[in-house]
């Protein structure tokens, strides 16, 4: 039996959904949740949605297989995507194939990281992607299946099978799916994709290999300065890879917190600078042995303090979510990048 990533058509005969799922589990194609049957007709519909994007795909590490569109589409069908989601999924795949994303490292690590997929631009509303209340959670087909489709591609094309290539000590629920939309309508600053040089009318996918969201709850602070104190405290984690391995991180500000910060005159740039200063970790919070590990990898303290990330620009900031005084911090794997890809349409 050939691998699903190495051929365009696999004959599944007249299998019903139950029989196909049993077969897929035996082959190691499943993430553990029920799969949809990738019939040849369904796969063809998905492939047609990306025919205008003729850029070749590079080999997908670590297995170095060059995927066919049919193999990618089969995974998106199995995930439960609609055909119109497929250009978003393929853009996300192109993002994780950025060499600086370090796909091999992020898949093989014992860290819990998984691809964070954020969608910006007009396509958010066209596909009904949740950007507001419960945007990290359940309830929207697009959010649930776009992230899942990317995960299945990494399982079946890249070869990130648990206990084999994927050696994560504990894993992370985001390995099932982690996709949300930027709440541009309630962002009082510049949308993230525009910060990165895209036009407001462009539809863009941003990916980062990150942990799940860490909640930043602040119902008490009435000033932007107070909110930044809370945010910095939540970001100041001596056990995070943002200290051990440095690298990027995301602050996803809830709309109510964003409005307070904007009212008090804070910009994306000033928030980034303040958090860089305030989130430093005092050496008293780090064991002598662990500090020696940090120093052995070149991360020496500045006096009695260790910084998260390499510099303020490692703190990426946008707005998502709905009503409520909550924001979220998403640390990354460390040795990775934040990659943005325009969705070909």
Higher pLDDT pick, 337 / 296: 337
* Residues 97/103, Cβ–Cβ less than 8 Å: yes
Q: What percent of the chain has a predicted confidence (pLDDT) above 70?
A: 97
Considering only CA atoms, which of 54, 52, 342 is closest in space to residue 201?
A: 342
Higher pLDDT pick, 154 / 53: 154
Going from the C-alpha of 312 to that of each of 113, 250, 274, 307, the distances in angstroms are: 22, 12, 9, 10
CA 261 to chain centre: 25
Give the containing element (helix H, strand E) for 316.
Answer: strand 315-319
Higher pLDDT pick, 244 / 205: 205
CA-only gyration radius of the chain, Å: 21
Determine the 3-state secondary structure of 166 from DSSP.
strand
Residue 12 has pLDDT above 80, yes or no: no
CA 55 to chain centre: 23
* Residues 111/166, Cβ–Cβ less than 8 Å: no
pTM for the full predicted model: 0.95
Considering only CA atoms, which of 331, 326, 332, 322 is closest in space to residue 215?
A: 326
* Residues 70/9, Cβ–Cβ less than 8 Å: yes
86-108 residue pLDDT tens: 999 999 999 999 999 999 999 99
Token output for 336 = 């990775």
Residue in this structure with the two tokens 């100041």, named with its chain if needed: 236
Q: What is the pLDDT of residue 9?
A: 62
Q: What is the pLDDT of residue 1?
A: 31
Mean per-residue pLDDT of the chain: 94
Question: What's the average model confidence in pLDDT over 10-19?
Answer: 84
Q: What is the pLDDT of residue 139?
A: 96
* Residues 62/158, Cβ–Cβ less than 8 Å: yes
Q: What own/partner pairs with CB < 8 Å and gap ≥ 24 does 63-70 have?
A: 63/5, 63/157, 63/158, 63/159, 65/3, 65/5, 65/6, 65/157, 65/158, 65/159, 67/5, 67/153, 67/157, 68/7, 68/8, 70/8, 70/9, 70/43
201-232 residue pLDDT tens: 999 999 999 999 999 999 999 999 999 999 99
Question: 55-69, 182-196, 298-312 — which one is most confidently predicted on average?
Answer: 182-196
pLDDT category at 2 given cuts 50, 70, 90 is very low
* Residues 306/299, Cβ–Cβ less than 8 Å: yes
75-89 residue pLDDT tens: 999 999 999 999 999
């Amino acid at each position: 039996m050939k691998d699903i990533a190495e051929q365009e058509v696999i004959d599944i005969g007249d299998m019903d959904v139950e029989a196909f799922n049993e077969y897929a589990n035996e082959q190691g194609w499943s993430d553990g949740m029920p799969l949809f049957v990738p019939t040849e007709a369904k796969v063809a519909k998905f492939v047609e949605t990306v025919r205008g994007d003729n850029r070749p795909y590079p080999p997908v590490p670590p297995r170095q297989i060059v995927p066919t569109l049919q193999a990618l589409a089969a995974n998106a069908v199995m995930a439960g995507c609609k055909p119109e989601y497929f250009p978003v999924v393929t853009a996300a795949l192109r993002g994780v194939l950025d060499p600086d994303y370090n796909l091999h490292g992020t898949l093989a690590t014992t860290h819990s990281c998984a691809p964070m997929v954020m969608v910006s631009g007009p396509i958010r509303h066209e596909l009904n992607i949740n950007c507001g209340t419960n945007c990290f959670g359940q309830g929207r087909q697009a959010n649930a299946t776009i992230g899942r489709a990317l995960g299945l591609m990494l399982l079946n094309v890249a070869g990130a099978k648990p206990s084999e290539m994927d050696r994560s000590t504990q894993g992370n629920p985001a390995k099932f799916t982690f996709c949300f939309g930027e709440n541009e309508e309630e962002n009082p600053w510049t949308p993230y994709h525009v910060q990165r040089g895209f036009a407001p009318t462009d539809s863009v996918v941003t990916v980062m290999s990150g942990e799940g969201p860490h909640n930043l709850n602040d119902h008490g602070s009435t000033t932007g300065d107070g909110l930044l104190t809370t945010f910095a405290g939540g970001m100041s984690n001596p056990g995070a890879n943002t200290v051990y391995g440095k690298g990027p991180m995301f602050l996803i500000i809830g709309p109510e917190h964003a409005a307070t910060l904007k009212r008090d005159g804070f910009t994306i740039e000033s928030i980034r600078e303040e958090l860089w200063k305030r989130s430093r970790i005092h050496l008293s919070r780090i064991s002598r042995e662990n500090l020696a590990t940090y120093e052995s990898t070149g991360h020496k303290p500045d006096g009695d303090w260790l910084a998260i990330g390499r510099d303020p620009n490692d703190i990426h900031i946008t707005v998502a979510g709905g009503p409520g005084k909550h924001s979220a911090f998403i640390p990354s794997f460390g040795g990775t990048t934040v990659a943005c890809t325009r969705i070909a349409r």
